[in-house]
């Protein structure tokens, strides 16, 4: 049994279920990312955990104690949880120190203990030198660290983050991903982190939970989700992929269009009478002007466009039936648009997907 348990959670708004019979177990000290597109139910799930909304079905337990069920839910302030929102929600008239210490003052801590705990968390979040500044005098990344420090200083059992980096520019987002992971490794609070950004999830999470239309498509480590997706949705959402469809031969090969036969080294095959999707990551496609020696997993096409991106080139290749394949190659491979090329899709990188 996990520390945080979601069992059969369902939540409806205006009769429509936005979270559907969702179950999840989170171990104590684990950082879990709820990942998915807008409208998939991830923020509603977080709000259910926080106690801002009540489930229509199912229950939530923390440390074996039931905190939410239909008609019987603890108030948010009694759950010993801290939540960080998309907006920093800092008091503009308070200094960094006072913002961080606010929750401790509400709890009536003695002045000496309050000072010690606030100083400790300010040092951990690299804010000590900014303690006397006001939020309007800080950068976005510094404000986000203040928000984190304020949430951590009260020593919650559970930390909840709702797309906390969405207001930052690209460079600050990258910096703060590592900062959130560093702080988690230091304090080891049980953390549920909502994001639609796969890079954030891959950088910060122990466990990624991919959601789609109110249900969990797949849950696993970042490596497992990326290397071994179970469904087409997960394969496309995490990392980007080409998906081919064809008829399974009953062994390890899927016959697709364009005379392409794909031998797959991994995955879950469907049936001989149904289309079987096969995933091949963009960077695993081998592109060359000469025909490879392999008879299977090889197809000819024409370069529709190529884009130079410094460290690599991004190709779009048209096959004979109009299907397109995306390939990412080393920057040194340069083939102009309109030229015929051969694509090799190595069997070890071809993964059959569940229907």
Confidence at residue 239, expressed as pLDDT on a 0 to 100 scale? 85
* Structure tokens that stand for 217 in this block: 């498509």
45 and 166 belong to one structural domain: yes
| Residue 207 predicted with pLDDT over 70 | yes
221 and 253 belong to one structural domain: no
- Cα dist from 47 to 41, 85, 106, 288, 323, whole Å: 10, 11, 23, 50, 42
Residue with tokens 């520019």: 169
Inside any domain, residue 38: yes
State percent of the chain over pLDDT 90.
72
Residue 54, class by beta-carbon neighbours within 10 Å (0-12 exposed, 13-18 middle, 19+ buried)? middle
Q: How big is the CA angle at 191 (ends 189 and 196), to the nearest 5 degrees?
A: 155
In this predicted model, what pLDDT tens digit does every residue of 123-175 receive, in sequence order? 988 899 999 999 999 988 889 889 989 988 888 999 999 998 887 788 888 88
Distance of CA 177 to the CA centre of its chain: 12
Range of the domain at 305: 241-352
Query: pTM for the full model?
Result: 0.89
- Cα dist from 28 to 4, 31, 196, 246, whole Å: 7, 9, 24, 43
Inside any domain, residue 290: yes
CA distance 252 to 264: 6
Q: How confident is the model over 323-334, as a mean pLDDT? A: 94
47 and 181 belong to one structural domain: yes
128 and 186 belong to one structural domain: yes
| Residue 350 predicted with pLDDT over 70 | yes
51 and 109 belong to one structural domain: yes
Confidence at residue 353, expressed as pLDDT on a 0 to 100 scale? 92
User: Does an H or E element contain 276, and which?
Assistant: strand 275-281
101 and 217 belong to one structural domain: yes
Of 227, 250, 274, which residue constitutes the final position of a domain? 227
Question: Beta strand pairing status for 253-255 and 261-263?
Answer: antiparallel
In this predicted model, what pLDDT tens digit does every residue of 70-121 receive, in sequence order? 999 999 989 999 998 877 788 899 999 999 999 899 888 899 999 999 999 9
CA distance 40 to 274: 28
Confidence at residue 273, expressed as pLDDT on a 0 to 100 scale? 63
Confidence at residue 275, expressed as pLDDT on a 0 to 100 scale? 85
């Amino acid at each position: 049994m996990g520390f945080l348990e979601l069992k059969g959670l369902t939540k409806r708004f205006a009769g429509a279920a936005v979270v559907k019979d969702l179950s999840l177990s989170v171990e104590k000290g684990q950082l879990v990312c709820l990942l998915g597109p807008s409208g998939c139910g991830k923020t509603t799930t977080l709000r259910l955990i926080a106690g801002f909304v009540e489930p229509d079905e199912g229950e939530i337990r923390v440390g074996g104690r039931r905190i939410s069920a239909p008609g019987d839910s603890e108030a948010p302030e009694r759950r010993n949880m801290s939540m960080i929102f998309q907006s920093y929600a800092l008091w503009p008239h308070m200094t960094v120190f006072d913002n961080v210490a606010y929750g401790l003052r509400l709890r009536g801590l003695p002045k000496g203990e309050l000072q010690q705990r606030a100083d400790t968390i300010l040092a951990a979040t690299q804010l000590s030198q900014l303690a006397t500044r006001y939020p309007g005098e800080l950068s976005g990344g510094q404000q986000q660290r203040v928000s984190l420090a304020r949430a951590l200083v009260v020593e919650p059992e559970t930390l909840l983050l709702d797309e906390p980096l969405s207001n930052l520019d690209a460079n600050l987002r990258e910096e703060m991903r590592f900062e959130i992971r560093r702080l988690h490794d230091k304090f080891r609070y049980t953390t549920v982190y909502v994001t639609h950004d796969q890079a954030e999830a891959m950088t910060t999470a122990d466990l990624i939970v991919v959601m789609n239309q109110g249900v969990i498509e797949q849950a696993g480590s970042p490596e497992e989700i990326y290397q071994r997706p179970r469904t087409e949705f997960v394969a496309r959402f995490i990392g980007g992929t080409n998906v081919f469809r064809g008829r399974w031969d009953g062994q390890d090969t899927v016959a697709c269009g364009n005379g392409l036969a794909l031998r797959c080294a991994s995955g879950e095959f469907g049936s001989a009478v149904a289309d079987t999707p096969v995933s091949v990551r963009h960077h695993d496609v081998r592109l060359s002007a000469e025909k490879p020696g392999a008879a299977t997993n090889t197809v000819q096409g024409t370069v529709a466009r190529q884009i130079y991106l410094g460290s690599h080139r991004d190709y779009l290749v048209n096959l004979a039936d109009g299907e397109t394949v995306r390939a990412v190659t080393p920057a040194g491979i340069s083939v102009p648009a309109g030229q015929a090329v051969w694509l090799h899709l190595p069997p070890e990188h071809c993964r059959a997907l569940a229907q």
